[in-house]
């Protein structure tokens, strides 16, 4: 389960630089610290209580480096005594718990139990059930607002990808597809524009997801980049009707499967040079201009499948 959560988090972080993940993680940790301080001093902010033992006295800034980026935190200060959040110490377990909760929020809505597990893993014990519920509500609202925000302007380039995760449904663990859409606007800014969970990558699932992007305002798509999954290609053709391009990463993986492992380094180098070319003609010429290298490995010329097609370099 931990490996699955890392896969999805890394996929989202690569997609838009992790901007949303950082802001969500900062919000979660800030709310946890505020709730922890409330329990420590015996009262919430501006509350009159006979159990109060101290008062707040501003904040101090502190950065926290995590796998989702550097988080900028505001640690509460007290008039009497001091407060230092436990998760700023050795934090491998607490960071893993935080990432797991963020994934749960993306997959199917977060639960009070999951946040309670997070609180315990991070060493925070002064948080009540009502405060945990408040945190759950805040995470839900932030994730929902992000996933269903209107898309304005034109988005000429769209990347589609998917990964498979384990999810508990009806008392059993099943494999589900987490699909993600990343788009670049006319100013060159790249953002995650959609994420959805479904049973498989079948065409109806992709079509439903892509039509949802159109309803939210995705427009001006000129090029869609993805792997060569037949259901996905069919959904792209029906929904956008624009140019489709094979994902370079998937193309490289498929290519290396067709050569002996001993030749992976040589073939990878040749293909990387081809991808540096500005058009299909230059790429094909690059692949065809290395007979010496291939002869050294017992081949008279590059195999035919290495010649890039127009699906890799749109004309």
Q: What is the pLDDT of residues 31-42, one digit of tens each?
A: 888 888 888 888
**Local confidence band at 296 (pLDDT 50, 70, 90 cut-offs):** very low
The CATH H-level superfamily of 157-246 is Ribonuclease H-like superfamily/Ribonuclease H (3.30.420.10)
State residue 193's pLDDT score: 92
**Local confidence band at 288 (pLDDT 50, 70, 90 cut-offs):** low
Pick 163 or 108 by higher pLDDT.
163
- Stretch 276-288: mean pLDDT, rounded? 74
**Local confidence band at 295 (pLDDT 50, 70, 90 cut-offs):** very low
Given the DSSP bridges, would you call strands 157-169 and 223-226 parallel, antiparallel or unpaired?
parallel
State residue 92's pLDDT score: 55
- Stretch 263-268: mean pLDDT, rounded? 82
- Whether the pLDDT of residue 110 is over 70: the answer is no
Percent of the chain having pLDDT more than 70? 75
Q: 173-226 pLDDT, tens per residue?
A: 778 888 889 999 999 888 889 988 887 778 888 999 999 999 999 999 999 998
Percent of the chain having pLDDT more than 90? 16
pTM exceeds 0.85, yes or no: no
State residue 46's pLDDT score: 79
State residue 160's pLDDT score: 92
What's the chain's average pLDDT?
Answer: 77
Q: 37-74 pLDDT, tens per residue?
A: 888 888 888 788 888 888 888 999 988 877 777 888 99
- Whether the pLDDT of residue 7 is over 70: the answer is no
**Local confidence band at 310 (pLDDT 50, 70, 90 cut-offs):** very low
Give the C-alpha separation, 54 to 51, whole Å.
9
Q: CA triplet 6, 104, 40: central angle to 5 degrees?
A: 100
Pick 44 or 289 by higher pLDDT.
44
State residue 105's pLDDT score: 63
Cβ neighbors of 263 (< 8 A, separation 6 or more) are 297
Domain boundaries, the chain: 2-147, 157-246, 251-306
State residue 173's pLDDT score: 74
Pick 74 or 129 by higher pLDDT.
74
**Local confidence band at 252 (pLDDT 50, 70, 90 cut-offs):** confident
State residue 127's pLDDT score: 66
């Amino acid at each position: 389960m931990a490996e699955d959560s890392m896969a999805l988090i890394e996929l989202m972080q690569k997609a838009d630089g992790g901007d949303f993940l950082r802001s969500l993680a900062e919000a979660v940790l800030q709310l946890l610290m505020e709730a922890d301080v409330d329990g420590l001093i015996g009262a919430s902010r501006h509350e009159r209580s006979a159990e109060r033992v101290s008062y707040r006295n501003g904040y101090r800034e502190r950065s926290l480096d995590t796998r989702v980026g550097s988080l900028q935190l505001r640690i509460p200060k007290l008039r009497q005594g001091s407060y230092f959040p436990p998760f700023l110490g050795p934090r491998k377990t607490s960071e893993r718990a935080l990432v797991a909760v963020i994934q749960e929020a993306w997959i199917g809505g977060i639960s009070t139990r999951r946040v309670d597990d997070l609180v315990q893993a991070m060493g925070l014990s002064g948080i009540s059930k009502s405060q945990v519920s408040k945190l759950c509500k805040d995470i839900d609202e932030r994730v929902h607002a992000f996933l269903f925000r209107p898309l304005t302007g034109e988005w000429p380039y769209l990347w589609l990808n998917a990964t498979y995760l384990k999810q508990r449904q009806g008392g059993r663990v099943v494999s589900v597809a987490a699909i993600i859409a990343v788009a670049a606007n006319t100013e060159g800014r790249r953002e995650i524009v959609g994420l959805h969970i479904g049973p498989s990558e079948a065409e109806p699932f992709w079509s439903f997801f892509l039509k949802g992007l159109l309803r939210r305002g995705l427009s001006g798509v000129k090029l869609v980049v993805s792997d060569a999954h037949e259901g996905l290609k069919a959904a792209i053709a029906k929904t956008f009707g624009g140019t489709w391009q094979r994902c370079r990463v998937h193309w490289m993986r498929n290519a290396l499967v067709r050569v002996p492992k001993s030749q992976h380094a040589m073939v990878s180098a040749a293909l990387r040079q081809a991808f540096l070319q500005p058009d299909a003609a230059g790429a094909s010429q690059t692949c065809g201009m290395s007979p010496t290298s291939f002869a050294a490995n017992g081949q008279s010329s590059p195999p035919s499948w290495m010649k890039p097609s127009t699906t890799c370099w749109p004309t």
